[in-house]
Amino acid sequence: MKLSDSRTITTLWSDFIIEELVRSGITMFCISPGSRSTPLTTAAARHPEASCSIFPDERAAAFFALGYARATGKAAALVCTSGTAAANYYPAVVEAAMDRQPMLLLTADRPHELRETGANQTIHQEGMFGRYTRWAFQFPEPSPDYPAASLLSTIDHAIARSQDTPAGPVHLNIPFREPLDPVVVAPEAHPWTGPVTSWLAATGPFSRKIRTVQEPSPDTVATVTRILDKAHRPLLVVGRLETPEGAEAIISLARHCNAPLYADISSTLRLQNSLKPLQHLLLAPDTPGIDGCDVIVHFGGALVSRSVERALEKWTLQDYVLIKSYPDRYDPSHRVTLEIDANPAMFARAMLEQGISTPKESWLQTELLAETETELDRWFAPEDTVSEPSAARLISTLVSPDHGLFLANSMPVRDMDLYGAAVRQDRLPIAMNRGASGIDGIIATAAGFSEGLQRPVTLVIGDISFLHDLNSLALLRRRSHPLHIVVVNNNGGGIFSFLPIAASAEEELFETCFATPQEYDIPTAAATFGIPCTTPATNDELRRAYLTLRESGQSGIVQVVTARRENWVQHRELNERLQDIIRKHIC
């Protein structure tokens, strides 16, 4: 093939790939600069309907794409050069796979004649993400011998696999030969495009896959209904929902059968004023009156807190029914007796339509939760020094209804789950990286979540997670919607203070190997990226600082400074106080 023909076919291939992605609804491209990916980068940048964001750091790009998928349910396309650039995608690929989020990876590669020759920036990229992709495909080098229809249908299959059940990452490895710079070419005039002239004249994708969601069978619904009818003390649990829009059906089912509903923070229902936070009750699962649950019907996926899992060690269950929309296993306590792969909201609606015979007598004294909520408000007085639990509670009430909330792992997500105020009339979009629960890429994920929502987002994050993704602060200057970051700074890994190693290890070992204080200055780091930062001292100052930032329309940071030892003591004393209230009413 002549050099000029090589450039032409490389240009056509790249243009066709980007065009088919856009026609299929994939319009967000997260591009990292590189030479080998030049054909794909220029094709995306020149497409009038493609939205391109540029990321010098491939790891940030992948986490941004992950956050975008969490908000939209659609994949973003990642484009990078060859070598370790693609390897930097790996942590986000793992998280996307574990939490079933769509993602498309377009990694440029060296041609086959350069592999294992010592050629620069050449590694084994084919299948490099292993079992964490839903599908991976190795393209040949662009050639007129590879049919255009095959190229287009492969792209369509990749999109379908990324958004299938379960959704997840798809990797397309595309080798390019030099020269890499594109040429101007009229597609309809080139003989390679002859078999797809109808596609060129159309505006839709070459092929589509439609996945229909089946209604749960009446027999399966009747089986669960019978289990619930026989239960004396049923508990409904709702974890992360793939499509939370239908969650109201689960609430209606709980009310209809008069069963308590445990709403995990990942369900997006936890902060609503229509539900009581059962997290408080499960601080004392062995208390008489709480220890009698005999049936659990669990809708959705994993839970943030282990309180239900710990309660299962105390309870004697007859049945544990798990209803989720994906085939992957979820049973860390090995107590599930019936697993049903179905849309949780649709299943709840079907149960309501089929009918529950008799509403249950209330067995959990949920009315006492009004007292635990009052106690939390009393504990976090405006003039008191701001703490990690008080920060979670305040932020839960202050995020605007037309914003979103992203929670980092370790303590921020746990504190919001336990101490967040159930006072909201709206259902706030809430997201977190709980597939593999890592602390990496959190700022980039929150930025992508904001981009997908097309609204401002508040991020609550710890100082170690913040440091881990510090370079992603550069993203904030280029975003159309602000990111409001609340950094809980206890100078280290605060969650380790709650683990047995904190009591068993000598102090120097614990501080050096687990708490790992980093001694860096967050306001200085913020200033490096031109981001304003404030450090309130009291709860009232936090409230005013956050509201000022929220109303500014700009990205910014509010730093909450705490001490790890004092934080551990406050958690213990506060939880003991909540348990005292529960036992006073029940025992």
Average pLDDT, the chain: 93
Using 50, 70 and 90 to split pLDDT, how confident is the model at 370?
confident
Structure tokens at 87: 């390897």
* pLDDT: which is higher, 473 or 310: 473
Residue 2: phi and psi, rounded to 5, are -65, 155
Is this structure's pTM higher than 0.85? Answer: yes
Sorted by where each begins, the domain ranges of the chain are 3-201, 218-364, 368-586
Q: Please, which residues have CB within 8 angstroms of residue 252's CB and are 6 or more apart in sequence?
A: 348, 352
Calpha distance 561→487 (Å, rounded): 8
Contacts of 394 (CB under 8 A, 6+ apart): 380, 539, 542, 543, 546
How many CB atoms lie under 10 A from the CB of residue 203? 6
pLDDT of 289 reads 63
Q: List pLDDT tens digits, range 268-285.
A: 999 999 888 999 888 876
Domain made up of 218-364: CATH architecture? 3-Layer(aba) Sandwich (3.40)
Question: What pLDDT was estimated at residue 200?
Answer: 96
> pLDDT exceeding 90 applies to what percent of the chain?
75
**pLDDT at 425 exceeding the cut of 60:** yes
Asked if pLDDT for residue 2 goes beyond 60, the answer is no
Question: What string of DSSP letters covers 208-273?
Answer: ----PPPPPPHHHHHHHHHHHHH-SSEEEEE---SSGGGTHHHHHHHHHTT--EEE-GGGT-TTBT
Q: With CA atoms as reference, report the closest residue to 142 among 11, 25, 322.
A: 11
Closest CA to 162 of 211, 212, 224, 231: 211
Size of the chain in residues: 587
Q: What is the edge-to-edge ordering of all strands in the sheet holding 135-138?
A: 51-54, 28-31, 77-80, 103-109, 169-175, 135-138
Question: Distance (Å, rounded) from C-alpha 485 to C-alpha 71?
Answer: 18
Per-residue pLDDT at 116:
87
Pairing of strands 103-109, 51-54: unpaired
The pLDDT of residue 427 is 86
* Whether 417 contacts 409, CB under 8 Å: no
Residue-wise pLDDT for 324-369, tens only, equals 999 999 999 899 999 999 999 999 999 999 887 666 677 667 778 8
pLDDT band at 505 (very low <50, low <70, confident <90, very high): confident
pLDDT bucket at 258, cuts 50 / 70 / 90 = confident
Q: CA-CA distances (angstroms) from residue 50 to 18, 42, 43, 189, 398?
A: 8, 11, 9, 24, 35
Of 282, 325, 323, 271, the closest CA to residue 306 belongs to: 282
What is the identity of the amino acid at 112?
H
Q: Write out the two tokens for 382.
A: 């405006």
**pLDDT higher for 362 or 403?**
403
127-180 tens-digit pLDDT: 999 999 999 999 999 999 999 999 999 999 999 999 999 999 999 999 999 999
Q: What backbone phi and psi angles, to 5 degrees, belong to 87?
A: -65, -30
Tell me if the domain spanning 368-586 has CATH number 3.40.50.970.
yes
Question: Which CATH code fits 3-201?
Answer: 3.40.50.970
